[in-house]
């Protein structure tokens, strides 16, 4: 018992240590989200439903087969099922039948239903693909937001370390009488402000981590963390392509247009199915029945009666629609209206996709220019900060001017981080529109 308790404690401790030590990569986050997201699971159920509809449509081509049996006890004047005569007595009876039917022609509705079921399954697959793309992109954006907040926290901490060093250096100069005590107070104020920024930055990291964990449906917020990787800016050839080429690829590969196209095809099938009700329905049937009664005057056995009292019926049945209160005509018109609406939705989907691609294309170019400008500004601010630091060391500038230069340098670093991750994300959006699968996106 004691050994079991020790082993249980060891396993629990190992599990807690693993959960605390695990750092989630972007690939792991995306894979976990696609496996556990409720919306994805619902879309997968829609796909299963589409398969069920297809199975049912296939069943419409097969014959039906049903069997029935009954037993009863009659007292008084009753119809004897074996003689079809009225008898005034008490007797027991039993009967059974097997019936089969087959639809030979129904205006091709069974054919259209099967075609529609296949289209519906394909549309469900496209919706699932789009759902996965959207979720993967949302997870990537949330992940990059955590990285941005961590990078900003790193900037705040590293710059406060510089302030701490500057404080010690200024304190020595104040003690030596080289600079006034006001400079030391100015640096103290800078230090206090930076510590406040660090606290805010830490809070932003925690909030973004919680947001990502909630997106992944992970409830252990306190132990959830991501791997802090350095994502470098890479030269892309995609934004150098002509935007018309990207739009053409998007229309060919994106699920939004494919879903709208399949909806048009489904609406066309619905019109054909509705028109099928104008045509007659032809079906074949076959039936076998037999009966037994315990008051047989010849005292024949149960098996013998079933053999002697059986019967077979078979034939064709034709049902011709003549007038049904305009229900068929109304249904056809209603489906034609739905078809036109689906065509409009397809046209709108293509226009929206074209607009979104244009916007993504412009965003990539704009965000890259913003990043390049931020890098140049950082280089300038770094030189200005070094110059201000050198002047402050020899007493040629005040602590206030030095702290302002340092603040501009810090802000320039933060702006580089912001524009960098914004560019990375917007480039991934454009890659998705171009047709790059989610699993092949490189960060």
The encoded tokens of residue 203 equal: 């809070």
Per-residue pLDDT reduced to its tens digit, 125-152:
999 999 998 898 899 889 989 988 998 8
pLDDT at position 21, please? 57
DSSP category for residue 396: S
Helix axes 109-175, 181-215, angle to 10 degrees: 160
Residue 367, pLDDT above cutoff 80: yes
Residue 323, pLDDT above cutoff 90: no
**Residue 227 burial (CB < 10 Å; 0-12/13-18/19+)?**
middle
User: Residue 371 — very low, low, confident or very high, per pLDDT cuts 50/70/90?
Assistant: very high
**C-beta atoms surrounding 262 within 10 Å:** 22
Contacts for 345 with CB less than 8 Å, ≥ 6 apart: 260, 263
Closest CA to 99 of 320, 318, 315: 315
Cα separations (Å) of 8 from 1, 12, 171, 430?
Answer: 11, 6, 56, 50
Can you tell me the distance from the alpha carbon of 186 to that of 256, in angstroms, rounded to the nearest whole number?
A: 58
Both ends of the chain: CA-CA distance in Å?
51
- Say what percent of the chain tops pLDDT 90: 43
Can you tell me the distance from the alpha carbon of 175 to that of 431, in angstroms, rounded to the nearest whole number?
A: 60
Domain boundary assignment for the chain: 2-36+106-279+321-437
pLDDT at position 440, please? 66
DSSP category for residue 394: T
pLDDT at position 54, please? 92
**Mean pLDDT, residues 145-168 taken together:** 86
Q: Which CATH number fits domain 2-36+106-279+321-437: 1.20.1600.10, 1.20.120.420, 2.40.280.10, 3.10.180.10?
A: 1.20.1600.10
Looking at per-residue confidence, does 103 or 233 come out higher?
A: 103
Per-residue pLDDT reduced to its tens digit, 52-97:
999 999 999 999 999 999 988 888 777 777 777 878 778 788 999 9
pLDDT at position 208, please? 94
DSSP structure string for 218-266:
---GGG--B----PPP---SGGGS-HHHHHHHHHHH-HHHHHHHHHHHH
pLDDT at position 228, please? 75
Q: Say which range, 334-338, 340-344, 438-442, has the weakest mean pLDDT.
A: 438-442
Contact at 8 Å (CB) between 374 and 416? yes
pLDDT at position 96, please? 93
Average pLDDT, the chain: 85
pLDDT at position 7, please? 42
Across-strand partners of 88? 77
pLDDT at position 239, please? 75
Contact at 8 Å (CB) between 232 and 325? no
């Amino acid at each position: 018992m004691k050994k079991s308790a020790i082993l249980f404690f060891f396993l629990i401790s190992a599990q807690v240590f693993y959960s605390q030590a695990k750092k989630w990569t972007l690939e792991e986050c995306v894979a976990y989200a696609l496996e556990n997201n409720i919306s994805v699971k619902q879309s997968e159920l829609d796909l299963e439903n589409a398969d069920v509809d297809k199975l049912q449509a296939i069943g419409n081509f097969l014959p039906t087969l049903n069997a029935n049996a009954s037993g009863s006890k009659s007292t008084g004047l009753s119809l004897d099922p074996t003689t079809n005569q009225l008898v005034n007595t008490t007797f027991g009876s039993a009967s059974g039948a097997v019936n089969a039917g087959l639809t030979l022609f129904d205006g091709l509705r069974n054919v259209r239903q099967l075609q529609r079921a296949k289209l519906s399954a394909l549309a469900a697959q496209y919706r699932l693909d789009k759902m996965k793309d959207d979720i993967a992109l949302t997870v990537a954006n949330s992940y990059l937001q955590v990285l941005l907040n961590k990078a900003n926290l790193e900037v705040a901490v590293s710059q406060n370390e510089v302030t701490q060093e500057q404080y010690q250096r200024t304190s020595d100069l104040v003690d030596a009488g080289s600079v006034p005590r006001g400079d030391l107070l100015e640096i103290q104020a800078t230090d206090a402000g930076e510590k406040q920024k660090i606290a805010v930055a830490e809070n932003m990291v925690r909030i973004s981590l919680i947001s990502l964990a909630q997106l992944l449906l992970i409830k252990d917020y306190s132990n959830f963390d991501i791997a802090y990787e350095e994502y470098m800016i890479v030269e892309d050839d995609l934004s150098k392509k002509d935007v018309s080429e990207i739009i053409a690829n998007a229309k060919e590969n994106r699920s939004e247009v494919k879903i709208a196209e399949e909806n048009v095809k489904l609406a066309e099938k619905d019109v054909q199915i509705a028109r099928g009700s104008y045509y007659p329905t032809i079906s074949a049937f076959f039936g076998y029945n037999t009966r037994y009664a315990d008051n047989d005057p010849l005292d024949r056995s149960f098996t013998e009666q079933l053999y002697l009292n059986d019967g077979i019926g078979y034939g064709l049945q034709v049902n011709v629609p003549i007038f049904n209160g305009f229900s068929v005509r109304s249904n056809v018109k209603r489906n034609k209206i739905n078809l036109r609406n689906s065509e409009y939705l397809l046209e709108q989907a293509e226009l929206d996709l074209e607009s979104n691609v244009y916007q993504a294309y412009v965003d990539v170019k704009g965000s890259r220019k913003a990043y390049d400008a931020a890098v140049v500004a950082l280089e300038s601010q770094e030189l200005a900060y070094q110059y201000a630091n050198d002047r402050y060391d020899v007493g040629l500038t005040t602590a206030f001017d030095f702290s302002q230069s340092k603040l501009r340098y810090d802000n320039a670093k933060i702006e580089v981080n912001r524009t960098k991750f914004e560019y990375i994300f917007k480039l991934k959006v454009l890659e998705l529109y171009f047709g790059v699968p989610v699993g092949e996106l490189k960060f």
